[in-house]
Amino acid sequence: MSYVYDDYDVIVIGAGHAGCEAALACARLGCRTLVFTVSVDSIAMMPCNPNVGGSSKGHLVREVDALGGEMGKNIDKTFIQSKMLNMSKGPAVHSLRAQADKEDYSHAMRKVLENTDNLILKQGEVAEVLVEDGKVTGVRTSSDAIYPCQCVVMCTGTYLKARCIYGDVSNNTGPNGLSAANHLTDCLIDLGIEVRRFKTGTPARVDGRTVDFERMQEQKGNDRIVPFSFTNQSEDLEREQISCWLTYTNEETHDIIRKNIDRSPLYSGNIQGTGPRYCPSIEDKVMRFADKDRHQVFLEPEGLYTNEMYIGGMSSSLPEDVQYAMYRTVPGLEHAVIVRNAYAIEYDCIDPVQLKASLEFKDIAGFYSAGQSNGSSGYEEAAAQGIIAGINAARKIKGLEPVMIDRSQGYIGVLIDDLITKGTNEPYRMMTSRAEYRLLLRQDNADLRLTEIGYGIGLISQERYDRLCDKRLMIEREIARLRKKTVGSNEAVNSFLERHGSMPLKSGSNMEDLIKRPELSYEVLKEIDEDRPDLPEDVQEQVNINLKYEGYIAKQMRQVASYQKLENKKIPEDIDYDEVGSLRLEAIQKLKNYRPASVGQASRISGVSPADISVLLIYLEKWKGAKE
């Protein structure tokens, strides 16, 4: 028999990386927030790789931090190795990645949640989201308790009707044997939400005592730590770091896989869900890239509390005996003992084109969805959506306009726009190539891009905002000084230049032009820049990047300006696409289905051609004219 329990402003379903950010944002913005989780012991659990960040994902974490999120702070507390990737490339693709102590990470996040005002944790399974007249009214749990609320944020990750598979073994559980959420999918379908089935996987974990590290290459972290959170200082985060290890598969490994491929549930048809192309299982790699005679394998510690090591690069759903044989062909793993088998996991998720950029369902007011249940993958992608959904649920309750990050403001904007505009046929992973304005969207300037927005929302303190304003001012002043600062062609200068392999000056130049030389930098030029002020490192970095890559940055700013022109052409919600003459049938169907908010968004929908966009623009002009 159902009964009514307490009521809340917001209910968050799930306490993974999306759920934590969503719940914290809501609670911090003053909403009474209840978080449901299948197990309070699995808050912010990392069921797959033991790291946070990496190419483009590191950007997301820093953006979440700039908006006032928790992920950056939490990994700063709990990392056991830190590394900046791509240092030989341009600043836009420098990517921060940290190995996490999984247990520590989870505990630290739980502590934050438990000590946040307005936030209540509750172990239980939500079976139904209650909707009346297209509006959320509450949720019902599997124990038949009803919790009235104004907004629901669904962050169910990979738990909806989850099934874990390896070989012919199949368990109806979520990751790590946690119980699956088996009821909510039916409710979603009843609400008219389109649901699909995705698949992903994880490699085996081995006992570190049985690994021969002598046969592998050591991968150390960086000595100088770059914090994920803009609130942390490098020197405060110094600690002893743990290494990862690199080894390779070989022909023997591939032979075993090829011989047993018919026993893989992926190939036998036992798994129907769509898997990700960017993170293929080892059997996929071997079958699809037959010309490669080896693949990389990274051994990563799961944490300081355990000997378990994650075998990065070798996720699999092959049967246990094949896994055993396969892993043991890899140098260093000859005697490895497997603690947990590799497995594939299948789960239900929604088609994200049903969402607005605020992550609210277009057709159900107050219902938001974030994270892997939107068809994305990765902890960072989940957190990024979580904070946006949380912010907007809270704003809805307060009667405020939603906050939407666009493609020119952050990777968060690219991620959400891709999901809701293009949809996805596989678990979606962030990549820097998806960000067309990536020279502007660097991990080093996430604070300059987004802190102000976070401050406006109410998740960034006055003190932090003031600090940002100071930083901005320092950058501007220093750049202005360098543009004016002349450098004579004297002997001291020219001998300095020669020493750095740079052309001597024939006549006077200025500091700005010297910084632009590839072999020089702001830092190096300190020697001949007498009246240089003493500035914080992050300010110096911005000055250097802004001057050095000025031409490229200016180019992207122009592209952004033309992008924003189309973004600002809003499409009225009551538009009747049948009335727009000359649109192709396919375009009409797509536009009706996606209901884009702007012409810019419409232009990114596949099946809508440039000609359709011209037609649409003309129609909107006409419509505007008629209205006036």
Partner 1 sequence: MEQDTIAGIASGMGGGIGIIRISGMDALLLAGKVFRTRKYLEDGHSSWDEDYFKYQASHTIHYGLIVEEDESVIDEVMVLLMKAPRSYTMEDVVELDCHGGPFLIQKILKLLIRLGARLAEPGEFSKRAFLNGRIDLAQAESVMKMISSKSDFALKSAVDQLEGRVSEHIGKVREEILYYMGMIESALDDPEHYSLDGFSDKFAQILEKEIATLGQLMEHFEQGRMKSEGIYTVIVGKPNAGKSSLMNLLLDEERAIVTSVAGTTRDVLEETVHLGSLILNVVDTAGIHDTEDIVETLGVEKAKEYLGRADFIIYVVDVTDSFDEGDEKILSLLGDKKGVILFNKIDLQESWEEREWKDWLQWEGISFSSKTGEGLDQLEKYISDAFCQEDISFNNQIYLTSVRHLEAVENACHSLESVLQTIRDGMPEDLYMVDLMDAYRSLGLINGETASEDLVNKIFSEFCMGK
The β-bridge partners of 345 are 164, 200
Residue 146 touches partner 1, criterion: CB under 8 A: no
Least distance (Å) between residue 164 CB and partner 1: 19
Residue 233 touches partner 1, criterion: CB under 8 A: no
Nearest partner of 282 among 307, 309, 260, 308, judged by Cα: 260
Residue 432 touches partner 1, criterion: CB under 8 A: yes
Residue 285 touches partner 1, criterion: CB under 8 A: yes
Give the count of residues interacting with partner 1 (CB under 8 A): 53
The β-bridge partners of 510 are 486
Segment contacting partner 1 by CB under 8 A, of 25-33, 229-237, 249-257, 292-300:
292-300
Site string for partner 1, 491-520 (x = CB under 8 A): ---------------------------xx-
The single residue among 176, 268, 433, 589 that binds partner 1, judged by CB under 8 A, is 433
Q: In angstroms, rounded to a whole number, what is the distance separating the alpha carbons of residues 1 and 351?
A: 33
Residue 88 touches partner 1, criterion: CB under 8 A: yes
Nearest partner of 17 among 79, 61, 56, judged by Cα: 61
Least distance (Å) between residue 561 CB and partner 1: 15
Least distance (Å) between residue 162 CB and partner 1: 21
Q: In angstroms, rounded to a whole number, what is the distance separating the alpha carbons of residues 545 and 615?
A: 41
Residue 258 touches partner 1, criterion: CB under 8 A: no
DSSP track, 275-306: PPSSS--HHHHHHH-TT-S--EEEEEE--TT-
CB 386 within 8 A of CB 35: no
Q: Which stretches does DSSP call E strand in 176-263?
A: 195-202, 205-207, 217-219, 244-248
DSSP 419: I
Site string for partner 1, 181-200 (x = CB under 8 A): --------------------
The single residue among 263, 340, 356, 422 that binds partner 1, judged by CB under 8 A, is 422
The single residue among 215, 220, 277, 570 that binds partner 1, judged by CB under 8 A, is 277
By CB under 8 A, what part of segment 357-396 binds partner 1? none
Least distance (Å) between residue 220 CB and partner 1: 13
Q: Which H/E stretch holds residue 378?
A: none
Residue 220 touches partner 1, criterion: CB under 8 A: no
Which tokens go with 171? 């368990």
The single residue among 177, 269, 399, 581 that binds partner 1, judged by CB under 8 A, is 581
Closer CB to partner 1, residue 140 or residue 285?
A: 285
DSSP track, 452-471: HHHHHHT-S-HHHHHHHHHH
Nearest partner of 575 among 527, 623, 530, 519, judged by Cα: 623
Least distance (Å) between residue 298 CB and partner 1: 7
Q: Which H/E stretch holds residue 509?
A: strand 509-510
Residue 442 touches partner 1, criterion: CB under 8 A: no
Residue 590 touches partner 1, criterion: CB under 8 A: no
Residue 610 touches partner 1, criterion: CB under 8 A: yes
Q: How many helices (DSSP H) and strands (DSSP E) are in the chain?
A: 20, 24
The single residue among 582, 589, 621, 622 that binds partner 1, judged by CB under 8 A, is 582
CA angle 154/158/161 to nearest 5° reads: 90
Residue 535 touches partner 1, criterion: CB under 8 A: no
Closer CB to partner 1, residue 52 or residue 112?
A: 52
Q: Which H/E stretch holds residue 396?
A: helix 379-397
Residue 556 touches partner 1, criterion: CB under 8 A: yes
Q: What values do phi and psi take at 487, rounded to 5?
A: -125, 125
Segment contacting partner 1 by CB under 8 A, of 181-189, 426-434, 507-515, 531-539:
426-434
**Sign of the Cα pseudo-torsion (548, 549, 553, 555, in order):** positive
CB 550 within 8 A of CB 440: no
Site string for partner 1, 303-332 (x = CB under 8 A): ---------xx-x-----------------
| Max CA pair span of the chain | 90
CA angle 128/129/133 to nearest 5° reads: 130
Least distance (Å) between residue 516 CB and partner 1: 9
Residue 115 touches partner 1, criterion: CB under 8 A: no
By CB under 8 A, what part of segment 58-87 binds partner 1? 85-86
Long-range contacts of 581-590 (CB under 8 A, 24+ apart): 581/615, 581/619, 582/615, 583/612, 583/615, 583/616, 584/609, 584/611, 584/612, 587/612
Residue 558 touches partner 1, criterion: CB under 8 A: no
By CB under 8 A, what part of segment 449-488 binds partner 1? none
Least distance (Å) between residue 11 CB and partner 1: 34
By CB under 8 A, what part of segment 16-55 binds partner 1? 49, 55
The β-bridge partners of 169 are 166
The single residue among 209, 215, 292, 526 that binds partner 1, judged by CB under 8 A, is 292
Q: In what order do the strands lie in the sheet with 338-340?
A: 217-219, 244-248, 296-301, 308-312, 205-207, 338-340
Q: In angstroms, rounded to a whole number, what is the distance separating the alpha carbons of residues 177 and 204?
A: 14
Closer CB to partner 1, residue 93 or residue 539?
A: 93
Residue 604 touches partner 1, criterion: CB under 8 A: yes
DSSP track, 88-131: TS-GGG-EEEEEE-HHHHHHHHHHHHHTSTTEEEEE--EEEEEE
> What is the residue type of 594?
Y
Burial level of 509, CB count in 10 A (0-12/13-18/19+)?
middle
Least distance (Å) between residue 605 CB and partner 1: 10
Least distance (Å) between residue 187 CB and partner 1: 32
Segment contacting partner 1 by CB under 8 A, of 104-112, 167-175, 208-216, 276-284:
276-284
Closer CB to partner 1, residue 315 or residue 546?
A: 315
Residue 436 touches partner 1, criterion: CB under 8 A: yes
The single residue among 38, 412, 479, 583 that binds partner 1, judged by CB under 8 A, is 583
The single residue among 135, 288, 335, 624 that binds partner 1, judged by CB under 8 A, is 288
Segment contacting partner 1 by CB under 8 A, of 27-35, 255-263, 275-283, 492-500:
275-283
| Binding residues for partner 1 (CB under 8 A) | 49, 55-56, 85-86, 88-90, 92-93, 246, 276-280, 285, 288-289, 292, 295-296, 298, 312-313, 315, 422, 431-434, 436, 438-439, 518-519, 549, 552, 555-556, 581-586, 588, 604, 606, 609-611, 615
